[in-house]
Structure 1
Amino acid sequence: MDFNILEWLSLIVRWVHVIFGIMWIGSSIFFNWLDSSFEPLKAPEDGVVGEVWMVHGGGFYHVKKKYLKASEMPENLYWFKWEAGFTFITGITLLSIVYYLSGGAFLLDSTVSNITNGQAIGLGIGTLIIGWLVYDTIWNSPLAKKPLMTSTACFLMVIGVAYALTHILSSRAAYIHVGAMMGTIMAANVWIRILPGQTKMLKAVKEGKPVDPAPGLRAKMRSKHNNYMTYPVIFIMISNHFPITYGNDLNWLILAVLIVASAVIKHFLNTSENFSFWAPRSAGVMAVSLLALMFITYKPKNIEASVIDTNTMVTQKAVEKVKFTQVKQIINQRCVACHSTKPTDDVFTVAPAG
């Protein structure tokens, strides 16, 4: 039995990536909930913004949000940053193993474009970098004072990237790169915008200087962005299991619908934890989304279908469904030799790509 190092690396890195992703997204969701759940103290305390009581694991937890003085700085202060860092590192590593080091097997689609493997890799990496730079520039501009307009601009950027990539890369790779771009934005938000703001706040407290609220407010805004992107990114990262989405001719539009739907549902969950509030609204969004997806993916029976012959390209009417016996014949003739459990092909002794 051959030891395929890339396969084992893919398994291990994917496993670790999922673990760190759960830790990061879990803490993000928890802190956004916590921040919106603080209530005023019955007996006001100096510097305390609010408090919240929780019960879990047989104990009670009393959390207070407060502004500290230099004399009150605790000896041990826990930061939530490594989850984001290692999710990003393992994600980029996994992207490289599966898409960049596989000779273009999952990255390219000759029926979509004639781009080379090297060009596709450059495009993929460039998408992650430029995506962050455009997003960050938009939210550092005066447009940030109009969040609805700015959010719309960022959404259109994401969908524009999705449209472009689905017409250059393989559809599966296009989806993953859109998710990787959003994941890069989220990780960069943590390390480039959120953590430096917290560092400035800590420095001011230690030096006994007034704390400038601006960096903290910007950090909170970026944290909120990350919170809204979690559901769309989670879907994209598991989308390779659902070719009904990325395999459609209008895959970019399907992705747009799913991003909007998941972000709106996230908004309902952020707004209220009351089941009677978010459940019916979320169900309504899902129903509308399903109707939209049905409309997008619907194709009449008498559709023009392109049939590829070995010698000529022929366009025929796909009036009737192809019988499975015909499909099985083609599979036996063209696929089984290489892709069976025990390949009989002289060249491919192990099934390529599964």
Structure 2
Amino acid sequence: MDVFLGEWGNLLLRWAHLIVGIGWIGTSFYFIALDYSLNQKERKSPGVFGTAWQVHGGGFYHVEKFTVAPPHLPPHLHWFKWEAYLTWVTGFGLLIIQYYFHASAYLIDPAVMELDPWQAIVISIASLLVGWALYDGICRLWGDRTVPLAISAFLLIMLASVLYTRVFSGRGSFIHVGAFIGTIMAFNVFMVIIPGQRKMVAQMLAGEEPEAKYGKVAKQRSLHNNYLTLPVLLMMVSPHYPFLSAHPHAWMVVALILLTGALFRHILNQIDIGEPWEKYGWAAPIAAFALICAIFATAPRQAADSGPAVSDGEVLALTSKHCISCHARKPTHESFKEPPKNVTLETLADLRRFNQLIMIQAVRNKAMPLGNQTNMTDEERAQLGRWLSAH
């Protein structure tokens, strides 16, 4: 029952994470598109930067954006913050339930580094906090100098990616890159954007002229979040695709994903602005090339079918040693009360039925056993692969 309730808790938290995440990313997409669609030439009120007419759901909307702030604070001001806060809170909750509570299975790989669960958890939390501090320092150092700031932020994420692939399992490293980026995005809202807006509101309530610098910095951080949305989404679903983390230089795959996602987001933003293709078309071939490189880098490498044939008895001995503690009709692993994804590997018929899945997960990508808790060797994987290839 405890495992069953834990699964329900995981499902409900994941559902909540998706709901609030959609809300946060949706507002990011909307407001950046709104900013870029503002008409600055249309007659407008004093202090207004631009206006936009929009239609949706059978209604017409007239939106104005002030250069700094309106002359008078309205009685009702809607703050877009809880979507970001709750996305991070639910995401960190999933990290706790899935990776901290089951660190030995999902977070630690003895072949990468021998760690106790508490050590892996400390590294995880410390890296997220230090990562935010370094990113914030980079932003303050470069200010509005876009190119060096973008390069520095990219290198910071690459540094984190290398660290994670040297410390955690493949699955754990990729999800932590996503958590690293997600923490930067959420803390941008919590530590910079909202506090800056609060200072502007406080200045207006005090009868003072609000300082434009707070709005300028908030816009910069909001734009950073916008460009990071597509890469972080892929990182968050990466555990379902172990071929991403199976590459011996997984940080390189992260770099290609960052380039592809950020450049594609740039193209969409430029379309919203209404810029001619000649001004941003350069991003399309680079994004496409990065994506092709990522696909090529993660493509399975066919191992040579050399070596003696593996008998049915030998392959069953292998699966008994490394697989059926989880993938049995009645698992003995403490984390499962039923076989994951209903995949059972107790008989030869089971092995034939799930042949391709086993080949991908256990032989090529080495994603199974989870965290390699049973210390499956490369030779054993090769033996399993030879039997699967023959059947």
Report the TM-score, using the length of structure 1 for normalisation: 0.85
Question: Which amino acid is the alignment partner of residue 136 of structure 2?
Answer: D
Deviates more, 1:264-273 or 1:317-326: 317-326
Deviations 1:160-193 (A, max 9, x none): 1111211111011111111111111111110110
Partner of 2:221: 222
Partner of 1:113: 113
Percent of aligned pairs with the same amino acid:
34
CA distance in 1, matches of 2:216, 2:227: 17
Partner of 2:292: 291
1:111 CA drift (Å): 1.2
CA distance in 2, matches of 1:44, 1:277: 29
Partner of 1:179: 178
1:338 CA drift (Å): 2.8
8 Å contact from structure 1 (residues 29, 227) kept in 2: yes
By relative contact order (CA 8 Å, sep 6+), the higher-ranking structure is 2
8 Å contact from structure 1 (residues 194, 218) kept in 2: yes
1:351 CA drift (Å): 4.9
When the two chains are superposed, the root-mean-square deviation of aligned CA atoms in Å is: 3.1
Aligned residues: 338
CA distance in 1, matches of 2:292, 2:333: 49
CA distance in 2, matches of 1:327, 1:17: 44
CA distance in 2, matches of 1:16, 1:289: 32
Partner of 2:357: none
Deviations 1:50-102 (A, max 9, x none): 110111101111111125555x3211110100111111111111101100012
8 Å contact from structure 1 (residues 40, 50) kept in 2: yes
Alignment of 1:192-207 (within 5 A): 192-207=191-206
8 Å contact from structure 1 (residues 229, 263) kept in 2: yes
8 Å contact from structure 1 (residues 232, 263) kept in 2: yes
SS in 2 for 1:243: coil
8 Å contact from structure 2 (residues 3, 335) kept in 1: no
Query: Is structure 2 residue 194 aligned with structure 1 residue 160?
Result: no
CA distance in 2, matches of 1:194, 1:243: 35
Partner of 1:251: 250
1:299 CA drift (Å): 7.4
8 Å contact from structure 2 (residues 331, 339) kept in 1: no
Deviates more, 1:157-166 or 1:273-282: 273-282
Alignment of 1:26-65 (within 5 A): 26-65=26-65
1:325 CA drift (Å): 7.4
Partner of 2:329: 342
The 1:320–1:298 alpha-carbon spacing in structure 2 relative to 1, beyond 3 Å, is farther
Report the TM-score, using the length of structure 2 for normalisation: 0.77
SS in 1 for 2:53: strand
SS in 2 for 1:78: coil
Query: Is structure 2 residue 89 aligned with structure 1 residue 102?
Result: no
CA distance in 2, matches of 1:254, 1:334: 32
1:146 CA drift (Å): 2.7
Deviates more, 1:198-207 or 1:49-58: 198-207
SS in 1 for 2:239: helix
8 Å contact from structure 2 (residues 20, 86) kept in 1: yes
Deviates more, 1:254-263 or 1:103-112: 103-112
Partner of 1:92: 92
SS in 2 for 1:80: coil
SS in 2 for 1:4: helix
Question: Which amino acid is the alignment partner of residue 129 of structure 2?
Answer: I
CA distance in 2, matches of 1:349, 1:64: 55
The 1:289–1:88 alpha-carbon spacing in structure 2 relative to 1, beyond 3 Å, is same
Partner of 1:311: none
Partner of 1:150: 149
8 Å contact from structure 1 (residues 51, 64) kept in 2: yes
CA distance in 2, matches of 1:172, 1:347: 20
CA distance in 1, matches of 2:309, 2:282: 41
SS in 2 for 1:151: helix
Partner of 1:310: none
8 Å contact from structure 1 (residues 338, 352) kept in 2: no
Alignment of 1:3-18 (within 5 A): 4-18=4-18
8 Å contact from structure 2 (residues 243, 298) kept in 1: no
1:344 CA drift (Å): 7.5
SS in 2 for 1:118: helix
Q: Which consecutive unaligned segments of at least 5 residues does structure 1 have?
A: 304-316
Deviates more, 1:88-97 or 1:201-210: 201-210
SS in 1 for 2:337: coil
8 Å contact from structure 1 (residues 52, 62) kept in 2: yes
SS in 1 for 2:143: helix
The 1:79–1:326 alpha-carbon spacing in structure 2 relative to 1, beyond 3 Å, is farther
Question: Which amino acid is the alignment partner of residue 137 of structure 1?
Answer: G
1:42 CA drift (Å): 3.1
Q: Which consecutive unaligned segments of at least 5 residues does structure 2 have?
A: 342-391
8 Å contact from structure 1 (residues 343, 350) kept in 2: yes
1:290 CA drift (Å): 3.6
Alignment of 1:299-310 (within 5 A): none
8 Å contact from structure 2 (residues 326, 336) kept in 1: no
The 1:321–1:191 alpha-carbon spacing in structure 2 relative to 1, beyond 3 Å, is farther
